[in-house]
Chains A and B, each alone.
Chain A
């Protein structure tokens, strides 16, 4: 709660600070706000509670689960702000403020206790993003991304809201636990009503849109490619984490009794998402688009956690999101750097990077290996935990996921091959990467390997 308030106030302060001062100086203020809220969140996690906080429990509940995920979200936000050095024209205070507001929405989405707060959180998360996607005003692709995201996003929100209304109609409550009880009763005594079923499906579809799972993923490649680099990274990490955690909360608390109804649908959609994500990523020339599709593929793996919706799955989810978040941030940041320097997004622009940028290449190497799921990276630990949890219940789905992980080698390794094995024919001098970026790269890489070797660091937290 305190972290949420600090970020919110910080964002407002930032807006006003942006009026006068040189806007470039604002970046350290963002780091300060995020670091502060990160520390306070960790203290919260360790049991620091102020008296007035208890009265919010009916709406927002900050338990170990949500605080662990909030720590991850804030950390990813902080790393995101460190890893991207914005261009001069992108340094407006409004952009930073909007990102912080969006992060607030994310924090609500991990801790809501009522569908009402879920909807609020989702909107607080999404509306700043619609603006942010189009924040590069002269860039047509950025405009396209904003429009697409806004239209599709509001449509999906509409579906979700409709679903919430149906669920309310069935159960007479917005409260998560209350809804869970009603559904349990209905499942045991009379069976689910059609309205109750449609409600679940619509909530499911609305949430699938947010995490870019098939068949609601069509917006993702265009929006990811068109949006400015750091916004894309923010969407792929913070937004995706918030979305999947919200889904986990809904399905593990409220809809768990009805799992016989939604499991078949979700199984098919998870398989579809994995296949579409991986196979489409295989076809891409642009690395950013490849990462966009690969994030669709990861959404497919993440749905396994929803399918299991038990405490083991929540641990696996935290581990997976930590590994994926760290890797994806680094990957998007390095591809952003590549694009600003060479002006295009194909893997060939990475040729000869290993010589030019040893640290940057190594960080990208580790993040690519992590996303593939090679041992000794957090990505492997996460994939293992997730796949293992769901193995007995969904054996064939896991075998499919494993095979597709092997397929993903083919596209993730394109970047590695370009950096390490191909020489560049041009001889432009390397552009020094900013200190903040290098610090974040080292931190992300070390954490990635560290979590890979000792995953208990993360999984013992929930």
Chain B
């Protein structure tokens, strides 16, 4: 199958890649670009483990074709922390023990980042509503919700 040349921006960096038109953004991120922080849980948009931001919009990268990212901005979990500091969401997930196995964590953090960009002071219900597209099987969500609310409070002060 012939490959298509795609120019995009990932975590602020200009990136070129070649892909088949049938390949998903998730597959290109993980298998071609080595950005394996974005996880695969179901590959049909049900679990949210592969959540990334596309021009700031929360998407399941398994449901986006890689060719669709031409000329766009992709944000993944790898772009969140600075060299010396975790993002407040990352820090609060650790402090609240909001991860057990951690496979859903990058997706939850990206989804929460999109929420806080839109709504910096969400209520518990708003957090639950927004994150309903991300499945976690370990935590029962309690500590995840608390971590997001706490991160929102910290980011609001900053």
Query: A and B: partners?
Result: no
List the interface of chain A (C-beta within 8 A of B).
none
B residues sitting closer than 8 Å to A (CB atoms) are none
